[in-house]
Amino acid sequence: MMKPTIATNVFKTNLLKQAPQLGLWLGLASAYSAEICAGAGFDWLMIDAEHAPNDIRTILQQLQAIAAHPVHAVVRPPVNEPWLIKQLLDIGVQTLLIPMVDTAEQARNAVRSVRYPPRGIRGVGSALARASGFNRIPNYLSQADDQICLLVQVETTTALKNINDIASVEGVDGVFIGPSDLSASMGHLGNPAHKDVQAAINHAIDAINTMGKAAGILMTDEALCRAYIAQGCRFAAIATDIGLLSRGMQNSLAAFRDNNDETGAQRSISVY
């Protein structure tokens, strides 16, 4: 019987390429909906545990649902905490997006959290871990670090001031810009399209690229997202599962009501 091998982190490999990787944000905290999204053709799916009601078990269930499909799972924990990062790595997460990284030291702490000693502080519990094939993958401990992709999220004015230092940290593979929190930090709550926020985002993308790291962003406005990709963003989330579901329901209902005449009689029905 062939022994299992550690999975190559295709997302990390593709960050070195020029073609952008398009992603979808998952906030429904459901393995069933994650499985549906996994078959849609996206390059990566973001399982969000910062603003969605996810925990270790729901993340694990979504990882298992996604695993059968050629799409990469990224997970955003709620905080930059070594004990939580350790649990996520052990259940098989290979790419992490760490929120609210304001300084290079916070980025270095995240790097230490995803690496085994002596390079880092990740606890050694591979005998119990899904990541190691439940201890069936030979030499997992010596290979694991190389297959971890670490993304850090800059989303405050403080982070922008430190962006060069953050992006220069060894072990950080990509820097992700958070437009919503950034706009709030700049005094434009709920308005990431504000010209000052857009100028800050453009500056951040250029700085990240100059430092030789992959720039990423979440933007559901198609025109803005295309502009970021053209500027050099190598990974971009273009939609959220919640947004697609919400708009789809509203559009379906609006179309149905628009197809009624003044008396309320239905003109046409599509069955699917």
44 close to 10: Cβ distance less than 8 angstroms = no
Query: CA dihedral in degrees (5, 11, 15, 17; nearest 10)?
Result: 80
Is 51 a residue of the active site?
Answer: yes
Chain-centroid distance of CA 167 in Å reads 17
| Residue 51 to residue 123: CA distance in whole angstroms | 26
Q: Active-site residue among 51, 69, 72, 188?
A: 51
Q: Across the chain, how many H-helices and E-strands are there? A: 12, 8
- Return the SS3 of 120: coil
Burial class (CB within 10 angstroms; exposed 0-12, middle 13-18, buried 19+) of 151: buried
Provide CB contacts within 8 A for 220, sequence distance 6+: 238, 239, 240, 243
| Selection from 195, 242, 198 nearest residue 217 by Cα | 198
Which residues are marked as active site? 51
